[in-house]
Structure 1
Amino acid sequence: MSDDTAASLSLVDPRLRRLLAYWLDRRGKRAMPARGDIDPLDFAYLLGSIMLVDVLPQPGGDFRFRYRVYGVDAVAHSGMDLTGRYTEDFPGAEFAAKLKQSYTNLVQGGVPRRVQRREYNDGRYYELEGLLLPLGDAAGINMILVGMAFGPWMMGIAPPQA
């Protein structure tokens, strides 16, 4: 991914732009950094909104996705802690399917992706911008680093400063 491609993600939240710059730096000349190249203390400014998702290949070319880390801000916004659980454990089958599809698209494409959601699910309103970043090695993507930005900045209010 070139810097031009990174700019094309059009991230609104400056903390997500900063996380993407960090990922690009850690990647170097490789397709993606490995999990061992990432130090969560380097992005403490976003730590509560970080998720680490294990990519678990399934027979037939499908995938399951398990949350190794589910940040406290994500818990506060979703009303649940999915640490150790799977995307299909998210309430609302349609929303869970969207999550799985977003992660599958990342694994199949191999490049960072921006997601934006404004929707109701399970009686809650979700308004967020997300950055999905692949982690892995020559064998492929084995983890996804997700940074989330929640809230009113999507309604024209200035986003928080990085």
Structure 2
Amino acid sequence: MSGLLSARHADGPAQASPLCGFIETGDLSQRGAAFLAYWMRARGSASMPSPDDIDPSAFVSLLPYMRYLRWEGSDRVVYRVWGTMLAEWMKTDLTGDNVFDLLPEKERSVEQERMRLLHSMPCGFVQHREVTDTRGLVHVFEFLTLPVSAGADGALRMIGTGTMCDEQAADRFELDAGPRTVIKRIGYLDLGFGLPVSADKRLTTE
């Protein structure tokens, strides 16, 4: 799997992109790495799994940390699943919410472009965000997002984990209601088809 996921650029003309950099699989959290391994198995010889390929019984331990999203029109990506641990940590359940409604208006077009690239490359992306607990300690939260092909309704999907990078610390702290997060790093993840040409710098967890 490491060969397929080694970082490299896609051939062809440059693509406009709101992101810079890439993240290696070795920089993922344990839960993120475990789900990526499942996703790779589920897709088989295809570029990405279909909705029917996703079997929740195969990753039961990760279900509380899962996010499942679906395009519903050109400017709506809706959370169809928001894991119970995510709801507990963030003190809100985002199931049914449009991702772009949660962002400042000036950031929405950037996020839309990033999400479209997941299927057009295809590739994944990873966000590491800093969040401060009620004691004032800062922790790193990871969102891993991977593409899933369209279902019978023709709508493209995305799936991935949301988890604290320090899984042991996650059991020992509490967040305020509606905690604010700050982006620490965000980058593409090579799924065997290269990366957008803008992803020319490795973003590490250091």
Between 1:9-18 and 1:136-145, the stretch displaced more is 136-145
SS of residue matched to 1:4: coil
Judge conservation of contact 1:135–1:141 (CA < 8 Å) in 2. no
TM-score, with structure 1 as normaliser: 0.72
The alignment-based identity, stated in percent, is: 24
Match of 2:145 in 1: 132
1:145 aligned partner, one-letter code: I
Contact 1:87 1:100 (8 Å CA) reproduced: no
* Structure 1 residues not aligned, in runs of 5+: none
Aligned pair partner of 2:156 in 131, 134, 142 = 142
Can you give the 5+ residue segments of structure 2 that lack an aligned partner in the other structure? 7-23, 133-137, 172-206
Q: Which residue of 1 aligns with 2:82?
A: 70
CA distance in 2, matches of 1:74, 1:138: 25
Deviation of the 1:82 alpha carbon: 1.1
Partner of residue 125, structure 2: 113
SS of residue matched to 2:128: strand
Contact 2:35/2:160 (<8 A) preserved: no
Q: Which has the higher strand share?
A: 1
Q: What is the aligned length?
A: 147
TM-score normalised per structure 2: 0.58
Greater relative contact order: 1 or 2 (C-alpha under 8 angstroms, separation 6 or more)?
2
Q: Secondary structure at the match of 1:16?
A: helix
Match of 1:86 in 2: 98
Larger radius of gyration: 2
**Deviating runs (4+, > 4 A) in structure 1?**
98-102, 137-141, 157-160
The alpha-carbon deviation at position 109 of structure 1 amounts to 3.2
1:33 and 1:133 map into 2 onto residues whose CA distance is 10
AA at the equivalent of 1:93: P
> 1:150 & 1:95 partners in 2: Cα distance?
27
Question: Is this contact kept in 2: 1:9–1:114, CA < 8 A?
Answer: no
Separation in structure 2 between the aligned mates of residue 52 and residue 31 of structure 1, nearest angstrom: 18
